Structures are given as structure tokens and as C-alpha cells.
Amino acid sequence: MDVIRPIFTYTDLTQLPEDGKRYEILEGDLAVSPSPNQKHQRCVWRIVSFFQLMEQAGYGQGYAAPFDVVFDEHNVTEPDVLFIRTERLSIVTEANVQGAPDLVVEVLSPSTRARDLGVKVHLYARFHVQEYWVADPDAETLTVYRLGADGYQQVGPLHDFNPVQSSLFPKSTLVVAELFRS
């Protein structure tokens, strides 16, 4: 007997309860995560602070979860943090982002680690997210994936006082240790 696996859509996602859990659709599969821990949230706070400076410099706009990114009907993520360049802000609607952000950041948690380092790397590359940053609060590292002709090129993991330079913010540098300071 064949097993029929339901394929979830963005419409299905909008019908789910607001119960404090994070819901995403990855290749038609529903992924559910509990709320993140303190280390995770402190790291997100630091990244948001950096993106606020990038907004003030006129590079574009940043957003923090919860805010859906709709790549297509069967691929909807809720990145921890994302950034969209000024000239591409038309993809932002009141309800969500319609298409690939320029930069997506995921901060690893025990419940999301495999997903963030597995299916999401491939999904973000396939939908042309220019940069994907993966912050690991336990190891205090940041790995940068930059989109090239053959997919993502990995830089890192970077740590301590390694600088991170993004092509989106050519005049600004982030020091990895700043993401994890107490």
C-alpha cells in the first residue's frame, strides 16, 4: 500500500493557529519549531542591531521573525533575520516577503540545526538568496554562504575577531565576536 504524503501550501500555513510555535513549509513539508532559547535570541538581537545600522546607512531594510518569506506555494520560510536591498523593496508586502531576500540569517538551535544546515542551504541557493549567514551560538561561529555560478561558496566558519564583509554593505564590517558577547 502506498503512503500518501500531504503537500502543504502557503494557504494551509495561514490557517494554522498562532500558538507560539514557528511553522515553515519546506518542499511541501510542514516544519514546526518551538520558541528559541536565550542564547539564540541574544544572537538575533545583535544581528538586528547590525542591520539597523545598515538601514540607517541606506542599504535597505531588515526584518526579524516572525515574518514569512514566500518563495513559492510549497516553500515558505520564517528566517530569524533577513535583509532586502533598497532597490528590491517591492517584494515586501504587508503580510510577507514575496521572493528571495538578499540576505537571510538563521541562528542555530537544537531543534533547527539539521534543517538550517540541510534543506535550507539548498532551498535558499535554489531561490537565489545572495547571502545566507548561519550563526552558531554554542560554537560562537558564523558561516557565510555566498551565491556563485555553481551555488553557494562557503566562507568559514568564522570566529572571534574575524571580520565579515558583505557585498550588500561594502563600507561596513561585522566582527563575529560581537554577535556572542554577553
Task: Assess contact for 25 and 31: CB atoms under 8 A.
Answer: yes
pLDDT for the residue 78: 94
More confident residue, 173 or 21: 173
pLDDT for the residue 12: 86
Kindly tell me if the per-residue pLDDT of 161 is higher than 80.
yes
pTM of the model: 0.89
3-state per-residue secondary structure call for the chain: CCCCCCCCCHHHHHCCCCCCCEEEEECCEEEEECCCCHHHHHHHHHHHHHHHHHHHCCCEEEEECCCCEEEECCEEECCCEEEEEHHHHHHECCCCEECCCCEEEEECCCCCHHHHHCHHHHHHHHCCCCEEEEEECCCCEEEEEEEECCEEEEEEEEECCCEEECCCCCCCEEEHHHHCCC
Q: Identify the top-confidence range among 6-10, 96-100, 170-174.
A: 96-100
Tens digits of residue pLDDT in 87-136: 999 999 999 999 999 999 999 998 889 999 999 999 999 999 999 999 99
Provide the 10 A C-beta neighbour count for residue 108.
Answer: 24
| 155 closest CA partner among 174, 182, 172 | 174
Q: How far is CA 91 from CA 86, 101, 118, in A?
A: 10, 8, 26
Domain 35-179 sits in CATH at 3.90.1570.10
Tens digits of residue pLDDT in 132-150: 999 999 999 999 999 999 8
pLDDT for the residue 3: 63
pLDDT for the residue 177: 93
Tens digits of residue pLDDT in 31-77: 888 777 888 889 999 999 999 999 999 999 999 998 999 999 999 99
pLDDT for the residue 142: 96
